[in-house]
Amino acid sequence: MTGQEFPFTLAAEPSTGRDAEWQALNAEIHDHRDDWPALAIKAAYAFGVIHDVCESVDCLLKAPNAWPTTYLPAFGVCASGIELLGRCLNGDTQTEGTAVKNLKSGLQWLISSSPKDPMRPSVVIVTRYADYDVDALVALRHFAAHGQAATKKPLSVDVELLDAFPQLIGNAMERYWYELQNCVAYCENLARANVLPLRSAPIAKMWGCFSRMSAGGPFYQFDWRVRR
């Protein structure tokens, strides 16, 4: 991709409230224009951070004895990326108290972006050992990330839980990309979402990815299958 190419056209370009900060991050990337719309830069950042999260999951699943030692932490990390997707979808402006809402929205987006069983509309993942619906995955994330406390909902985790997530996340990001280009409401929600402009690396990574493959392509490349 050359410095003159724009990776996609948004359906709308409302202000993010931090336009100058997003454009300053983009200006740190060599050979890229610094006048791209702030919302496009924010979109690339969100995609890039979610990809960073997936890379972290990949590292945990490639560790010795990934099952069971690092498997549950890997799911907890994965859920944080899905929560960020939900924050962007919801246009969440809050800094606390909305984690469950955003995670559920992200998980529902995964369900609605892939073929599903109409008889089980809340099921996200089906393995040979268990079915995992939205509430079960939310409970499992809390267990993994918040001190291993007892939960109201029975917990289940098996070695196939994460197998399908790269495909699900890739499909979700493909659909989100499409909606940002075609639906003003998604652009407005992304603009409102409270996402901190922290570093330029995720933006640089996604500009490169967008020039070579579809929006879901970087996520489809992960293989999270682990053997016992």
Judged against a pLDDT cut of 80, whether residue 33 lies above it is answered with: no
Q: Are 41 and 14 in contact (CB under 8 A)?
A: no
Which tens digits make up the pLDDT trace of 137-180? 999 999 998 877 667 777 889 999 999 999 999 999 999 999 99
Domain that holds residue 89: 19-220
Judged against a pLDDT cut of 80, whether residue 135 lies above it is answered with: yes
Q: Are 195 and 42 in contact (CB under 8 A)?
A: yes
In a domain, 133, yes or no: yes
In a domain, 227, yes or no: no
Tokens of 195: 């996402």
Judged against a pLDDT cut of 80, whether residue 30 lies above it is answered with: no
In a domain, 2, yes or no: no
Distant-in-sequence, close-in-space partners of 196: CB < 8 Å, separation ≥ 6: none
Which tens digits make up the pLDDT trace of 37-55? 999 999 999 999 999 999 9
In a domain, 105, yes or no: yes
Q: Are 195 and 92 in contact (CB under 8 A)?
A: no
pLDDT score, position 2:
37
Which has more pLDDT, 140 or 5? 140
In a domain, 6, yes or no: no
Q: Identify the bridge partners of residue 133 per DSSP, sorted by sequence position.
A: 123
pLDDT score, position 32:
66
Q: How many structural domains compose the chain?
A: 1
Q: Which of 3-7, 46-50, 65-69, 213-217 has the lowest mean pLDDT?
A: 3-7
**CA 47/CA 177 separation, integer angstroms:** 9
pLDDT score, position 157:
94
Judged against a pLDDT cut of 80, whether residue 114 lies above it is answered with: yes
Q: Average the pLDDT over 210-214 and give the result.
A: 86
Name the pLDDT band for 31 (thresholds 50, 70, 90): low
pLDDT score, position 1:
37
CA distances from 223 to 41, 61, 133, 202, 227 (A): 28, 9, 22, 21, 12
Name the pLDDT band for 212 (thresholds 50, 70, 90): confident
The residue among 142, 157, 67 whose CA lies nearest residue 103 is 142
**CA 86/CA 41 separation, integer angstroms:** 18
In a domain, 228, yes or no: no
Please confirm whether the linkage preceding 68 is cis (ω < 30° from 0). yes
Name the pLDDT band for 4 (thresholds 50, 70, 90): very low
Judged against a pLDDT cut of 90, whether residue 223 lies above it is answered with: yes
**What residue type is 166 in one-letter code?**
P
In a domain, 199, yes or no: yes
**What residue type is 50 in one-letter code?**
I
In a domain, 11, yes or no: no
